[in-house]
Amino acid sequence: MELSSERPMGTSLQNDKPIYLDYNATTPVDPQVFHAMEPYFKEFFGNPASAAHQWGWIAENAVTKARGQVAALIGAKPMEIFFTSGATEANNWAIFGLLSKIREENPTEPIHFITSNVEHSSIMKAMAAVEKMGVEVDFLPVNSFGLVEIETLRKAIKPHTKLMSFIWVNNEIGSINPMGEIAKIAKENKIYLHTDATQAAGKIPMNVTELGIDLMSFSGHKIYGPKGVGALYIRSKDPKVQINPLLHGGGQERGLRSGSLNVPGIVGMGMAAEICQKTMTEECHRLQGLRDLFWEKLQEKIPGVRLNGSPTERASNLLNITLPNYKTEALLPRLQKLGVSTGSACGTGATVVSHVLRAIGLSVDDVQCSLRLSLGRWSTEDEVLRAVAILKNSLQR
Ligand code: PMP
């Protein structure tokens, strides 16, 4: 499959146009994805649950095709893919759904879950919520690269540990957890393994069946599909994983996730998955080249710049850097031409400092001097070079 020659609006190449460097926050919808979705807003608007007429059958067929495309990307069977509204829902569903099932079967049994302290907030907060419901939760510290240490994990396991949940590729620093080793430990100890693979699916090759992952969350809008659609993979064999629904209602998704399906979104996620599957190897290679050039030029132009995360085990599209002594929130007005993400953000009057950067040992000051630069399908060498120049100028003023 060829990558689309069409460039999404908003990623213009003109010299004076802003440069999007926030592909980890969200990706533009690939024009091929958009074209695939369009008919499902227009003539093929049916509800897949309408089994009595052709509008319903057409929608149902489209969802079936997308389920196959999404399953193929991760090495799963189509019946193991359950569409959700995104990775936030999938993460919450995995945790609360499993807890509800365990409690249903044995209401008095003590329950222990293990996660890490560099997870996305949808895991951190869901885990904090189950903790309030009486589950014992360990948030494991990570090493200075942001990776779960196998020895730390082994030591944390208890006789009543039921679930481990670890982010596969970190959204802020790009560190890639050793998921194969983690899965082996989970299997040896008969503990369910969930992974938040929102930044991993479509970026690194994976086969969840072979790897031994039990539950996996991912999202459409990080793989050049639309927002508002994602999926939870639920293993069907060796072992068959059973979780309770989070959403009750019409019984869609084989009774496990009620609500009329977002057909255009699902079609888009399916198409996005197919494009990723076919272009991933080449694209990763290209992005790695751009990322390395970016880092090389940054070091050349900005003395003292530091790289956060693992130098080796990391995503091909991302640089998280610290510009010592330059508060990035204060630089933002001078970085209007760059779409970047900072290590701390001012929310409702309070500054929220990245828990991930803190967890890998950065001081609050250094977190406030950090930037995440994430590249993607429409990033170019020219953009990288211009971005370095803009960054350098912003520091000189
Ligand atoms: N997990 C990770 C690692 C993410 O990067 C994100 C998106 N920022 C999410 C979960 C949430 O995904 P969604 O927007 O699909 O709910």
Contact 87, 229 (CB under 8 A): no
Final residue in a domain of this structure, among 226, 248, 273? 273
Closest-lying ligand 1 atom to the alpha carbon of residue 228: 15
Is residue 191 domain-shared with residue 317, that is, in the same domain?
no
d(CA 80, CA 289): 35
**The total number of structural domains that make up the chain:** 2
Residues in the chain: 397
Is residue 220 domain-shared with residue 133, that is, in the same domain?
yes
Decide if 52 is inside a domain.
yes
Is residue 201 domain-shared with residue 298, that is, in the same domain?
no
Distance 365 CA to ligand 1 centre (A): 26
The residue whose C-alpha atom lies closest to atom 6 belonging to ligand 1 is 198
Q: Is 284 a catalytic residue?
A: no
Contact 227, 221 (CB under 8 A): yes
What is the per-residue pLDDT for 349? Answer: 59
Q: Which CATH number fits the domain that encloses residue 383?
A: 3.90.1150.10
d(CA 63, CA 261): 9
Is residue 244 domain-shared with residue 319, that is, in the same domain?
no
Is residue 23 domain-shared with residue 66, that is, in the same domain?
no
Distance 43 CA to ligand 1 centre (A): 31
Is residue 211 domain-shared with residue 344, that is, in the same domain?
no
Is residue 338 domain-shared with residue 250, that is, in the same domain?
no
Is residue 222 domain-shared with residue 93, that is, in the same domain?
yes
What is the per-residue pLDDT for 344? Answer: 76
Decide if 258 is inside a domain.
yes
At 288, give phi and psi (nearest 5°). Answer: -60, -40
Final residue in a domain of this structure, among 236, 257, 273? 273
Is residue 266 domain-shared with residue 327, that is, in the same domain?
no
Decide if 14 is inside a domain.
no
Closest-lying ligand 1 atom to the alpha carbon of residue 220: 15
Q: Which CATH number fits the domain that encloses residue 100?
A: 3.40.640.10
Buried b (16+ CB within 10 A) or exposed e, 273-302: bbbbbebbeebbebbeebbeebbebbeeeb
Decide if 4 is inside a domain.
no
Is residue 187 domain-shared with residue 262, that is, in the same domain?
yes
Contact 207, 245 (CB under 8 A): no
Pocket test for ligand 1, best of 222, 227, 262, 354 (most atoms within 8 A of CB): 222
Distance 197 CA to ligand 1 centre (A): 9
Final residue in a domain of this structure, among 242, 273, 304? 273
Closest-lying ligand 1 atom to the alpha carbon of residue 90: 16
Which H helix or E strand runs over 351? strand 351-353
How many CB atoms sit inside 10 A of residue 52's CB? 7
The residue whose C-alpha atom lies closest to atom 16 belonging to ligand 1 is 88
Decide if 143 is inside a domain.
yes
Pocket test for ligand 1, best of 88, 173, 374 (most atoms within 8 A of CB): 88
Decide if 11 is inside a domain.
no
Decide if 219 is inside a domain.
yes
Give residues (CB < 6 A) around ligand 1.
86-88, 120, 122, 167, 171, 196, 198-199, 219, 230
What is the per-residue pLDDT for 286? Answer: 98
Distance 55 CA to ligand 1 centre (A): 32
The residue range of the domain holding 388 is: 19-29+279-396
Closest-lying ligand 1 atom to the alpha carbon of residue 119: 3
Distance 15 CA to ligand 1 centre (A): 31
Decide if 163 is inside a domain.
yes
Distance 230 CA to ligand 1 centre (A): 9
The residue whose C-alpha atom lies closest to atom 5 belonging to ligand 1 is 171
Closest-lying ligand 1 atom to the alpha carbon of residue 86: 15
Distance 31 CA to ligand 1 centre (A): 22
| E strand segments, 154-276 | 161-167, 192-196, 215-219, 230-234
pLDDT per residue as tens, the chain (397 positions): 666 667 887 776 666 789 999 999 999 999 999 999 999 999 999 999 999 999 999 999 999 999 999 999 999 999 999 999 999 999 999 999 999 999 999 999 999 999 999 999 999 999 999 999 999 999 999 999 999 999 999 999 999 999 999 999 999 999 999 999 999 999 999 999 999 999 999 999 999 999 999 999 999 999 999 999 999 999 999 999 999 999 999 999 999 999 999 999 999 999 999 999 999 999 999 999 999 999 999 999 999 999 999 999 999 999 999 999 999 989 999 999 999 999 877 656 577 899 999 999 999 999 999 999 999 999 999 999 999 999 999 998 6
Is residue 241 domain-shared with residue 285, that is, in the same domain?
no
Pocket test for ligand 1, best of 198, 227, 269, 355 (most atoms within 8 A of CB): 198
Closest-lying ligand 1 atom to the alpha carbon of residue 122: 10
Is residue 109 domain-shared with residue 221, that is, in the same domain?
yes
Sign of CA dihedral 139, 362, 302, 296: negative
Exactly one of 276, 284, 346, 369 is catalytic; which is it?
346
